[in-house]
Structure 1
Amino acid sequence: MNLAQIGGEIHIKRVQAGLLQEHLAKFAGLSRVTINQLENGALKDLGYTKLKAVMDILGIDMETVQPSGLKSALVIAARSISTSYRDVVTPEMLSLMLRSGQAPEQFQPHLMTLLDETPLPVVVKAVTEAATPDVPARKIMKNLSSWAEQWQVCRTVW
């Protein structure tokens, strides 16, 4: 859920509670303009503490839920990084490469695509899925970092 969607929920709950924007703003220690921008999706950023204050007043929980569209990130990532190449990486192969840190030469372009172009939420979830008690996610992230440095990928987050 993004800030604009949360703002829409806040608007609905505020109206249901019979509160004016100025009341909610006063209760939360914010300006009415901030509440208006939040509800209308015009606000680009609002700190966690401020947002939580507004949500607490209206009884809205901030729970984390897995987006329904991302069932198996390893499947999605493997399919995505294999699109432009003759050799196909299976989810099992990708998982093994992530855990071992070993990148067979024919799959290095695939892994560069993973590091440079695959959406970060997919990469992070794929790392989580590949992790085992023997090879925790932290080790896999180190493997990704090593590859990124070795291959000088464009995405600077590694």
Structure 2
Amino acid sequence: MNLAQIGAAIHNRRVDAGLLQEHVGRFAGLSRVTINQLENGTLKELGYTRLKSVMDILGLDMETVQPSGLRSALTVAARSISTSYEDVLTPDMLSEMLRSGQAPEKFHPHLMALLDETPLSVVVKAVGEAATPDVPVKKS
């Protein structure tokens, strides 16, 4: 089990409980950004005490967290950039926007968050996942 798998379980439990990332972060003494990174699998390290605090708040323990398998970068990116907005961007919608180069105006802030806040490795992998034989990744 790795931190990304634990983060996915934390996300699911938080959503089921109707809590916002800000609430969990405040209760655990962490920032919303840290909770976001934990949930979307981009957090590199979180000490045991801090992780246990988050899990305790949500009623999770290591035995109840089951591996969820690999998640796609499109899923991670879509979830990450939708956190602060009312309109949720799905992985399929993000994929289409990356392929077409066009996005509805209401999703422009999401795409700015993708470029400003998402780790470059996740962005690159998401673009690769969105590429299709008819729309390959451009190499410059």
TM-score scaled by structure 1?
A: 0.43
The TM-score with structure 2 as length reference comes to 0.49
- Asked which structure has the greater CA Rg, the reply is 1
Greater relative contact order (Cα < 8 A, sep 6+): 2
